[in-house]
Amino acid sequence: MKFLAPLLALTALASSAKAAVVYYDTRTYYSSTIDVGSSFVNIFNVAKFNIPQATLTGVTVKVVQSTMTGSITVTNTGGVAAAIEAFDSEFTARQITTGLGYAQTTVDINNVVTSPAWQSVTNLQPGVSQTLNIASGQSFVVADQNIASGFWGAYTGSGNVTFSARDVQSITVTGESFGQNASNTKATTQFAVVYSFSIPEPGSALLGGMAILVLFRRRR
């Protein structure tokens, strides 16, 4: 029994360490910050999760900031006076995965603040244009998107995962017809991917290996 004492003690120590076999952590990867317009033309490349000894437990995508800038010009092309009823912005972000299509998230920004206030344009005469400047400091956040485990493969390994985004302005105007030009409006934005993972504690694995080694040597 004496020669078993060290082994039993070591095994007990390894067993007591089972509660700490793994620890959990998160790691966030950011893309650069860029301005996006009304087309999906600007591409974000965010580093994939690449820790070989870790087990991925979750992937969350978030847009950490989006601030609108620019202006929009509305022209009454009809024959009667018109009034502006609403000024909205639609921000869309999507992640492209080869062979799986893409995941898309959209957030609507209602009643964008402009200068002059769009609510004040109530008598836009035929053939007349009105430019509305987007007030500075308007920020919004696209809701975090938790990626289903079936898509985690697109976020792991070497290289990058690819995103794109756009921001579209829309104006509702009464009257016969109107034209609008929002080609210079932008949304400054930044993507982040948060990886949740677990990883074994080296000490726990070492204890288990030592217990097996002692048992093997005693049997010899």
| Domain limits, the chain | 1-21+202-220, 22-200
Residue 58 has pLDDT above 60, yes or no: yes
When the pLDDT of each residue in the chain is averaged and rounded to a whole number, the result is 82
For the chain, the straight-line distance linking the first and the last C-alpha, in angstroms and rounded, comes to 16
Cis upstream peptide for 116 (omega within 30°): yes
pLDDT tens by residue, 133-190: 999 878 777 778 888 898 898 899 999 988 999 999 989 999 889 999 988 899 999 9
pLDDT band at 9 (very low <50, low <70, confident <90, very high): very low
Angle at 111 between CA 107 and CA 88, to 5 degrees: 55
Which range scores top for mean pLDDT: 56-60, 104-108, 160-164?
56-60
Residue 131 has pLDDT above 90, yes or no: yes
Dihedral sign, Cα of residue 115, residue 117, residue 123, residue 124: positive
pLDDT of residue 172: 93
Residue with the larger pLDDT of the pair 204 and 122: 122
Q: Which residues of 133-167 are buried (b: 16+ CB within 10 A; e: fewer)?
A: ebeeebebebeebebeeeeeebbbeeeebbbbbbb
Cα(81)–Cα(110) distance, rounded to whole angstroms? Answer: 24
Please answer whether residues 69 and 188 qualify as being in contact, where contact means their C-beta atoms are separated by less than 8 angstroms.
yes
Cα(136)–Cα(93) distance, rounded to whole angstroms? Answer: 22
pLDDT of residue 50: 95
Mean pLDDT of 57-82: 92
Mind giving me the DSSP string for 10-50?
HHHHHHHTGGGSEEEEEEEEE---EEE-SSTTEEEEEEPB-
pLDDT of residue 120: 96
Cα(78)–Cα(82) distance, rounded to whole angstroms? Answer: 8
